Structures are given as structure tokens and as C-alpha cells.
Amino acid sequence: MQLVLIIDNDPHTLKRVEQYLRGTRIRLVPTANNKQGLEYAKSANPDLIIVNISTDRTTLENLVTIKNDRITRDIPILGIYGSQENEDFMKQTLKLGITEFLIKPITKEKILPVIQDLLNRSKIINEHKLKERRSHIFVEHSGTSRTMVIFTSGLKKYVLPEIRNVFHEGFLRSISQDEFAIDLRNLPDLKEEEVKVLELIVSLFSNKKITLIAGRHLGIILSSSELEEKVHLFMSLEEYEGFLEKPPPDTTRPSILIKDNKPFSNISITMG
């Protein structure tokens, strides 16, 4: 099911679009708050963002942020303009990265074909990025003893075959004193059976919970595993960074458990 985020401070537009998409295989997340919408865009990594475009400075700043953020920069944006917006303003905002636009009032006949077209484009973009990728696991180190591993593709087909090359003994020892997080927000999907891969990775760590930044996959992790008891689980990067600023009193550095000095060497996972 594809995910669409709509940010519009007009409750009538939000209600109308919700009605138009009812019964489709599209999950709609509506919000009237610009800040909340931006946070959700970065945490949930939607397939399409619909934004009400106004002269409000926050709206324009959000467009710039969306197009500059690693998670959201390739997501198509459908801009919704009021009927009174002047042409010069529209041209200016279109340069900020809006993919398509519509002018209010919005009707079902006008918006549904555009949404479907942009979702198709989003799917093509993601498939192209997948083909171009040579690696599906990326490691980011910071100068503050923080390490983040980013999974960008399906865990079963792409990440699992590559995981032995990344989570080797040397890597695990090198990060043994770091705050360690796994970012799942780039994953296009996370199936219940694939949560086993996460459970496997978490089992390599002992004495301290690592962090999972789950994004739109928070629900499936909570419903199909007991990882909530074993990790620090957040939906967004902002929540994780807030946690690091005020860690619990008993927080200790992570320690790595390496079985037989060969992590993943004898692991076999069978998935349907």
C-alpha cells in the first residue's frame, strides 16, 4: 500500500481528499500543521507529498527542507494553490521542486489522476534508484562517538546477503563504544518475516539497547516482534536526537557480543 502525506491548513480540503481516496489502496496521512507535516515526511518517507502552497514563510521553508533532506528529496510533490495566487508567485514556488500543481477548488476528477500518475512516478524513481545502487547498507560515523547504519533496500532480498560483509568482527569491535543506531526510514517496505533480520542484528549487541529509527515501519515492528523490549525504538530522527540529549541515568556504552569471533558465519534464515 502506497503512502500519501497531505499538508493543508484547510480542514475542508483535508476531508475532501480523504473522501476521494477512500476505498483505494492508498493510505492517506493528513495534517494541518506545517511543522508536524515536515517531521512526518522525514520519518515516514511517503510515496507522495501533497502541500498547500501559500505565501506563509514556513510553507516555503518546508519545501526547501524536503528537497534538501536525504530521506525526502526524491519524493514527488503535488502543490495545491489557492484560486487567487498570482502567476509570478506560482512560478517562484514551482522552482523549489514541486512536481505538479493544481488550483483550488479540488475535485475528485481533477486530483485522482494526478495522484495516481505521481505515485507511478514515485515507484519508477525508487526502482531506478534500486538498480543503480551498488550497496544497500550505508554506515555513517560522526565525531561524537555515534554510528548509524542505514538500510536502503528490502531486507530479505538485498540487505541480508550483504550484511555479512558489513557486520564483520572488525566493524563490530570498532563501534563497541559508540552510540549505535539503525535507520530503517529508507526501506520501501518491511514484511513481518523480515523483522527476523532485525532481531538477528540486535542479538549481536549485549549490555545496552541499540536504537532503531523505524519511520513508517514502527507498527509492523511493534506488532510482529518483541524488539520494543530490546531496543530504543523511535519513529523519527528528531526523537532519537532528543533522546541522546537527555539519556536515561543508567545508560551505558554498547558492548558487542561476537559469537565464535565470526558473526553471521553460521546463520541461516529461511523466509517464505
CATH superfamily of 137-261: STAS domain (3.30.750.24)
Please report, for the chain, the start and end positions of each structural domain, with discontinuous segments joined by +: 2-132, 137-261
Q: In what order do the strands lie in the sheet with 26-31?
A: 26-31, 2-7, 48-53, 77-81, 100-103
Of 2.60.120.620, 3.10.20.440, 3.40.50.2300, 1.10.340.30, the CATH number of 2-132 is 3.40.50.2300
Dist. CA 222–CA 217, nearest whole Å? 9
Q: Per residue in 115-151, pLDDT tens?
A: 999 999 999 988 887 777 778 899 988 767 899 999 9
Peptide bond just before 105 cis, omega within 30 deg: yes
Which residues touch 130 (CB under 8 Å, ≥6 apart)? 153, 158
Beta bridge partners of 141: 147
Cα–Cα dist 121/127, whole Å:
10
Highest mean predicted confidence (pLDDT) among 15-24, 37-46, 58-67, 200-209:
15-24
| pLDDT at 247 (0 to 100) | 61
The mean predicted confidence, pLDDT, of the chain is 85
Region of 134 please: left (phi>0), alpha (psi -120 to 50) or beta. alpha
- 140-176 burial, b at 16+ Cβ within 10 Å, e below that, comes to eeeeeebbbbbbbbbbbebbbeebeebbbeebbeebe
Task: Please give the pLDDT value at position 85.
Answer: 64
Instruction: Check for a shared fold between 2-132 and 137-261.
Output: no
Say if residue 235's pLDDT is above 50: yes
Report the C-alpha gap between 234 and 43 in whole angstroms.
Answer: 9
Distance CA 60, CA 52 (A): 10
Q: Does residue 217 have a pLDDT over 90?
A: yes
How far is the C-alpha of 146 from the C-alpha of 253, rounded, in Å?
A: 11
